[in-house]
Amino acid sequence: MAFLDNSGDIIIDAVLTDTGRYRLAKGDGSFKIAKFALGDDEIDYELFDPSDGDANADLEIMQTPILEAFTNNASSLKSKLVSIPRNNILYMPVLMTNNKKQNALNGDLNMYVVATDETTENNTDQTLAPFLYGENFNNGKNLRIDQGIDTPAISPKFSIESDLEETQYIIEIDNRLGSIVSQTGPAARIAYIDDDNVASYYLTMGTDQSYVTKNASTTTAGEIIRGPRGTTLTFSIQSSIELNTSTYLFTQLGSSGETMTGVNGNFSYIDTTVRIQGATTGAQIDLPVRFIKSE
């Protein structure tokens, strides 16, 4: 990893991800570039100086040191750029976890806790702390993500603009640990699994009705978004067979001998992150998740 010489020239440095290189290496003629992404993770826009004249106002930004492109997709492009063909946008939508409708957040840990097997589920007390159930997921909590414009300056009675409404969400989760499921419908289908064992799910309004729905609420009751609302993503997490039946990954990736409010006895755990991204605006949110297993 190194910095590009960005002292004056505009440089385009593009590479294939590890998954793209793998598909290219197949050599069967099926490889083609259908999508690409742009990001501005390293840019500090506060360096823009309008007092320095039109020619030099963005000079410091243009000369910002830039990391050369690297192939690990999990480490690049955290802030992807999107194009919206109009210039009258004052507020951009965000994604927020809604723990008012169904509180799934463990307040002590500030994480979402998944009990990985039935024994662990039986050792939890939902009256003391909320838990997602990784085996009997229909009986546990689920996760709800709301999309909309979070400002009191615009009434929630207004509708969000159609070009800002998320109709498709991308969920990324470590496939070794769990999968995305619905408490009211079929399990989500994996779009692909990358070289880091991260599974991506594409869930679309209309097609995946048990996951993505329109948020038509115009009141404050049970809502987290203060302004116009877009769509809602609701899902649960099913633990993998490895976590359900074995302690191997807990030994390799986690810790043991822990105690926690709402869990009877000691448990082992693995901490991870589940990422949700809107396909329309690129807004994203990372959810801290802990998988636990009774010892």
Q: pLDDT (tens digit, 9 = 90+) per residue, 172-185?
A: 999 999 999 999 88
**What per-residue confidence (pLDDT) applies to 72?**
66
Identify the CA nearest to 176 among candidates 162, 160, 195, 161: 195
Structure tokens at 211: 């996951």
Q: What is the mean pLDDT of the chain?
A: 88
Residue 204 has pLDDT above 60, yes or no: yes
Q: What is the pLDDT of residue 233?
A: 97
pLDDT tier at 26 (50, 70, 90 boundaries)? confident
pLDDT-derived band of residue 84, with 50, 70 and 90 as boundaries?
confident
**pTM of model > 0.75:** yes
Lowest-pLDDT range of 70-84, 155-169, 209-223: 70-84
Residue 6 in this model has a pLDDT that exceeds 70: no
Q: DSSP letters of 5-25? A: --SSS--------HHHHHHHH
Looking at the DSSP bridge assignments, the partners of residue 214 are: 231
Indicate if the pLDDT at residue 2 is higher than 70: no
Q: What is the pLDDT of residue 74?
A: 61
pLDDT at 22 over 90: no
Are 244 and 151 a contacting pair, CB within 8 Å?
no
Tokens of 263: 């869990």
Among 41, 40, 46, which Cα is nearest to 58's?
A: 46
pLDDT at 76: 65
User: What mean pLDDT comes out for the span 37-44?
Assistant: 77
Q: Which residues have a Cβ under 8 Å from the Cβ of 32 and sit 6 or more positions away?
A: none
* Spatial contact of 268 and 242, defined as CB atoms under 8 Å apart: no
pLDDT of 7 reads 65
Pairing of strands 198-204, 190-193: antiparallel
- Predicted pLDDT at 33: 83
**What pLDDT score was predicted for residue 201?**
96
Given a cut of 60, whether residue 279 has pLDDT beyond it is yes
- DSSP code of residue 189: P
pLDDT of residue 88: 87
Tracing tokens 């593009």 back to the chain, one arrives at 14
What is the structure's pLDDT at 48?
Answer: 84
Tell me the Cα Rg of the chain: 22
Q: What is the pLDDT of residue 80?
A: 72
pLDDT of residue 75: 63
Predicted confidence (pLDDT) at residue 119 exceeds the cutoff of 70 = yes
